């Protein structure tokens, strides 16, 4: 049975593209079906501000007119400008375990990027903020909010095509139960740092959400601009993310560090709503919304999603102050499972403190690359 690759052009094909993951993972107990409304938004340029600075092509693989795989190929013009390299991206990769489908999908994305004069092909890369890579370690664990998840056969398919590792992203975890305490040396150091630099940690103010989000975006763009893979976050993307997360965030777990009233750092910890989404089949209505709202208060699983400190305040243990404040909030909810997800493998300024805090390496995401 021949495999045919088609570029998504019609509304029907677009719907098939969006819906394919629900077919790939329908029997996987570790996958949490994302809300279908959010998936539609992800691939809609009129609703996803990231797509406003991207040139995108979507492709479907068919077997006897049935969709069996998909892939996106795209150029992020903000990324290319920042990297000063012609790096084309691919993502949204999903496929059933059908012979030749991964190879044909990756060939199609490669050829599209090559025709656009790209010199490198990198991915998988998402149309969401920092959702990169394939799971290559810890794939037997449930998926976490806004993090990659994939069947175990994807990495071998990528490597067979000729893609090689360009960067690993580390995931750490700890259970905050009665046996866990912050190391004493950290507690002593925290008191000295707070006094020396006059740093105050406060929760985000939902009444001035726009202003706090702008502060976080400014810090994030300054703090991570030299990090591998960084693409500047636009104001429109920040506003869209804030709007999307507003329903689920816990204000006490989005923290801003201030020095003399000036925002200098932040940390965002999110409740893992995937534990609720697993039972919604991607739909909020008619009863999913009620399940989500009533289930939020019962969540005891969290993800440290982002942390940043202005460069001029690096090496002053501001990150430890943020971790300590987060710990104070979460320890009252014990037992709590916490993931720090993700950390660049060579970012020792973040890896070392996380390990010293007693977290364990539990998952690895891998981003691949190939020359064109």
Residues of the chain with CATH 3.40.630.30: 3-169, 174-363
Q: Which two tokens stand for residue 29?
A: 């107990």
* pLDDT tens sequence for the chain (372 residues): 689 999 999 999 999 999 999 999 999 999 999 888 889 999 998 999 999 999 999 999 999 999 999 999 999 999 999 999 999 999 999 999 989 999 999 999 999 999 999 999 999 999 876 789 999 999 999 989 989 999 999 999 999 999 999 999 999 999 998 778 888 777 777 777 777 778 899 999 888 888 898 899 999 999 999 999 999 988 888 888 777 777 778 899 999 999 988 999 999 999 998 888 887 776 655 455 566 667 678 889 999 999 999 999 988 888 888 998 998 899 888 889 999 988 999 998 889 888 988 899 999 999 999 999
C-beta of residue 340 within 8 angstroms of C-beta of residue 304:
yes
CATH of 3-169, one of 3.40.640.10, 3.60.15.10, 3.40.630.30, 3.40.50.2300: 3.40.630.30
Strands (E) in the chain, as ranges, are 3-7, 54-63, 66-76, 87-95, 120-123, 134-137, 164-176, 199-203, 254-259, 262-271, 301-309, 336-344, 360-371
Q: Which pTM was predicted?
A: 0.93
CATH node for 174-363:
3.40.630.30
């Amino acid at each position: 049975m021949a495999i045919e690759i088609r570029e998504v052009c019609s509304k029907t094909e677009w719907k098939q593209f969006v819906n394919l993951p629900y077919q790939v993972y329908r029997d996987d107990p570790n996958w949490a079906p994302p809300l279908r409304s959010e998936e539609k938004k992800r691939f809609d340029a009129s609703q996803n501000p990231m797509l406003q600075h991207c040139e995108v092509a979507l492709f479907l693989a068919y077997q006897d007119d049935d969709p069996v795989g998909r892939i996106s190929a795209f150029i992020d013009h903000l990324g290319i400008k920042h990297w000063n390299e012609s790096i084309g991206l691919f993502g949204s990769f999903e496929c059933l375990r059908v012979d030749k489908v991964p190879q044909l999908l990756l060939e199609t994305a490669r050829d599209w990027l090559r025709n656009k004069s790209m010199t490198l092909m990198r991915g998988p890369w998402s149309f969401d903020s920092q959702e990169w890579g394939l799971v290559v370690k810890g794939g037997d664990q449930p998926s976490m909010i806004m993090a990659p998840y994939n069947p175990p056969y994807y990495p071998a398919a990528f490597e067979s095509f000729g893609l090689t590792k360009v960067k690993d992203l580390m995931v750490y975890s700890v259970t905050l139960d009665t046996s866990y305490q912050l190391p004493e040396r950290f507690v002593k150091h925290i008191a000295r740092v707070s006094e020396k630099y006059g740093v105050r940690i406060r929760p985000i103010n939902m009444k001035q959400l726009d202003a706090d989000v702008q502060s976080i975006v400014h810090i994030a763009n300054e703090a991570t601009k030299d990090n591998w893979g960084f693409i500047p976050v636009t104001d429109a993307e920040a506003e869209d993310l804030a709007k999307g997360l507003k329903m689920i965030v816990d204000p006490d777990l989005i923290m801003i560090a201030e020095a003399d009233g000036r925002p200098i750092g932040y940390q965002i910890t999110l409740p893992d709503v995937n534990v609720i989404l697993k039972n919604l089949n991607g739909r909020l209505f008619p009863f999913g919304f009620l399940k989500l709202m009533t289930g939020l208060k019962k969540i005891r699983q969290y993800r440290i999603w982002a942390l940043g400190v202005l460069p001029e305040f690096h090496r002053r243990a501001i990150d430890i102050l943020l971790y300590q404040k987060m710990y104070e909030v979460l320890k009252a909810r014990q037992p709590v499972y916490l993931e720090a997800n993700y950390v660049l493998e060579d970012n020792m300024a973040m890896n070392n403190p996380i390990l010293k805090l007693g977290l364990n390496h539990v998952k690895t995401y891998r981003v691949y690359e190939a020359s064109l």
